[in-house]
Structure 1
Amino acid sequence: MSLNAKTFFLVFLLAIIGSGCATLPGGAPDGSLPAPELIAPPDKSRGYSDSRTMASHSLTAKGYERLEKGDVDGALRLLEKAVGINPSDGPGYYYLAEAWMAKGNYGQAERFNKLAEIYLRRDRYWAGQARDQKRRINRKKIGE
């Protein structure tokens, strides 16, 4: 397969995957978790130009959806793949921490929250979400 054919296939595959994540009108999430900001198309100035990062963000979005539906184990599998593909995926670590909190494993949640804080520190909104998450983890750990 030539490079152009591979590139076309990858773009086509990502478009299909992305269309599967599209929501229908009226299907708003309940708001218990902040939605990942993955709606805008990749922008080279933000570092989303490579296919690995795009694939990672697609998996993060799917993991978020699974987490919202209560499928914590399914979310964990997708989110672990996302950060495996792109180890600097801050939202992926944030949602991994959420998933581990949902399973009651606050030690794992704390470790992923620390990674989320590192990779989200440049984004004011996400940095605030990671700090709030850290507080929630600490409250849960004290209550154990």
Structure 2
Amino acid sequence: MPILFWGCTAGRGPSTGDGSLPAPELIAPPDKSQGYQDSRTIASHNLTSQGYELLERGDIDGALRLLERAVGINPSDGPGYYYLAEAWIAKDNLDLASRFNSLASIYLRKDRTWTRQAKDQKRRIDAKRNDGQSVTPSQ
């Protein structure tokens, strides 16, 4: 089964420097001209899109349920992993956020826009982790 990389050409989509999620157009439907007509891939794409919408509305638990189903159906769903990481960031579970960010980085590595998004997400996870650590003075 071929690995599917969803995304767009470089230069499209918003910057996430302000912490917002990438726009839905980054989750392009599977390209049927490339032979991606597999019903599992399409189902995963639909679940990922719905999970994105729930994240935008603040329904983190609902988004988690849909996104977990999406990556269960299509384990190479890079955007699904990215949005799972976002959901776990929102729930302050930085260990799971980091794990899903790593998977997103693997499956999105061939798309420059998504690669940039995943790197930014990793920086936000690391920064949040560092903000949560208490610093004890050395003796």
Judge same fold: TM > 0.5, yes or no. Answer: yes
List structure 1 runs of 4+ shifted beyond 2 angstroms: 35-44
How big is the shift at 1:114? 0.1
Note the aligned Cα RMSD (angstroms). Answer: 1.6
Alignment of 1:1-144 (within 5 A): 32-36=20-24, 37-40=26-29, 42-45=31-34, 48-144=36-132
In 1, Cα distance between equivalents of 2:85 and 2:30: 26
In 2, Cα distance between equivalents of 1:54 and 1:97: 21
In 1, Cα distance between equivalents of 2:30 and 2:110: 20
Letter in 1 for 2:31: P
How big is the shift at 1:38? 3.4
- Identity of matched residues, %: 68
Q: Please give the TM-score of this superposition, normalised by the length of structure 2.
A: 0.77
Richer in helix (by share): 1
How big is the shift at 1:32? 1.6
In the alignment, structure 1 segments of 5+ residues that lack a partner are 1-30
In 1, Cα distance between equivalents of 2:22 and 2:30: 19
How big is the shift at 1:131? 0.4
Question: Which structure's relative contact order is higher, taking Cα pairs within 8 Å and 6+ residues apart?
Answer: 2
Aligned length: 113
Q: Please give the TM-score of this superposition, normalised by the length of structure 1.
A: 0.74
